[in-house]
Amino acid sequence: MINSSLKQLGAMLAGKQISSVELTQEFLKRIAQLNPDINAYITLDQEKTLAQAAAADTRIAQGNAEPLTGIPIAQKDIFVARGWRTTCGSKMLENFIGPYDAGVIERFDAAGAVNLGKTNMDEFAMGSSNETSYFGSVKNPWDKTRVPGGSSGGSAAAVAARLCAAATGTDTGGSIRQPAALCGLSGLKPTYGLASRYGMIAFASSLDQAGPMAKSCEDMALMMNIMTGFDERDSTSLQREKEDYTRQLGKPLAGLKMGLPKEYFAEGLDAAVGKVVQEAIDEYRRLGAEIVEISLPNTRLSIPVYYVLAPAEASSNLSRYDGVRYGHRAAQYTDLMEMYCKTRAEGFGDEVKRRILIGTYVLSAGYYDAYYLKAQQIRRLIAQDFEQAFKQCDIILGPTAPSTAFKAGEKADDPVSMYLQDIYTIAVNLAGLPGMSIPAGFADGLPVGLQVIGNYFDEARMLNAGHAYQQVTDWHLRMPEGI
């Protein structure tokens, strides 16, 4: 049952083979057994979760069920949820209880899905290893001495360890795709603006996007049908016709042009990871896809551009955490300025402080034109690279991450080495394009992800490309030993 797809679980619930309460209890039992070691969840509320499951059973009995009604989903702790503790992995929000539901949470609630709990994450989504969380590191279920990736590492570990049927994540520079790759699951960052950012705690507003994390592309398509749609409360939300992301699943790949960026297969890519990715590309050839070489010449600039723009936006977004209205407040201070300083010194972790300092610096008088404005200009060039590439191909393939999951603590004292983990993912966010990672095999016993990048609003074709691959491989069905 824990290995069943969302479609299979929906059929079991509709056929009365199992109730939502029974299914939810099974996952809660597994969480009680495994989460103390893996640390995938920050907050659980069994009473609320089981009440939702009971309501779902009533809805199913009345014949009003939707495809995900009664299915237990884990929610990244970046989404505000009414009555749930919402921490964003930070001491700053350690005791914050959500007064309303985020747009994404509302949509899952309306569909009748069950909220299993809030998953662990890098503090304010800043990190690539899930080691910056105030609530402790998450362990990779494939090897508990290694990181699960970040910032959506808790959601990734929960799906990999079968502590939920699927989960939500957010992706600012690779934070869905990189942990999906390191934990052997599927993860999708949609086109910027497709999923509501209302109630999603902001890191970098022009980059953040919510997306699904699940075992397969078919599961992600079902989640996309729920997660996406216009939200007037979000100024970045796109007004588009609602679409069915399952509509292309099963379509042959004959004639599909897939581009390989030569920059993604150069120095820096682990040889074992490159071999697995090449084998996946060969499989696509057998499926009828045409493989062409392309170039994304400004890829090497994506990390420096990102680490100017994202911290700049973060320094602005995080200025609201000052101890005045909500969140942590220092216990002792003599005046308002000291309260600000002590509160932020105590409430934020080292990585968050580092990015606030960088962001404030690049926005300061005398440096704005040299750093921030120049980074925005290069961001445009990166987007133009993709525009040119999609004139030659329909979809772009490559590695999701340059290596498999690294040891916990291995890169903790080397921020630049940590930032380089997102070398293949960041450009997609800078351009606002959709990208996903799917399991492609193993290197030295650890999962390897294949990244699939599409043109704007081309998620249905991407999902079909991933689904076709998953019909002839079983990498997405593999489970860690002992789980």
**Which two tokens mark 229?**
């749609």
Contact 269, 399 (CB under 8 A): yes
Q: With both helix axes pointing from N to C terminus, report the angle between 302-317 and 374-389 in degrees, rounded to the nearest 10.
A: 130
- The dihedrals phi and psi of 299, each to the nearest 5 degrees, come to -55, -40
C-alpha–C-alpha distance, residues 62 and 423, integer Å: 49
What 3-state DSSP class applies to 112?
coil
Residue 169 to residue 74: CA distance in whole angstroms: 9
Active-site residue, 76 included = yes
- Cα-Cα-Cα-Cα torsion 387, 392, 397, 398, nearest 10 degrees, comes to -80
Report CA 478 to chain centroid distance, whole Å: 20
In the set 20, 90, 129, 151, the catalytic residue is 151
Which residue type sits at 146?
A: R
Catalytic residue (one of 19, 20, 76, 90):
76
Catalytic residue among 19, 128, 155, 175: 175
For the chain, first and last CA: distance in Å? Answer: 14
Q: Is the peptide bond before 316 cis (omega within 30 degrees of 0)?
A: no
Q: Within 10 A of 23 (CB to CB), how many other CB atoms are there? A: 25
Active site residue 16: no
DSSP code for 270: -
The closest alpha carbon to 336, from 327, 319, 354, 324, belongs to 324
Cβ atoms within 10 Å, residue 373 = 12
Contact 235, 193 (CB under 8 A): no
Record the tokens describing residue 374, joined without a space: 């120049």
What count of residues does the chain have?
483
For 119-158, give the DSSP string. Answer: E--SGGG--SSS---TT-PPPBTTBTTB---SSTHHHHHH
Q: Which contacts qualify for 250-254: CB closer than 8 Å, 24 or more apart? A: 250/464, 250/467, 251/464, 251/468, 252/288, 252/468, 253/284, 253/287, 253/288, 253/289, 253/464, 253/465, 253/468, 254/288, 254/289
Outline where 348-373 has alpha helix (H). Answer: 350-363
Q: Which residues are known to be catalytic?
A: 76, 151, 175
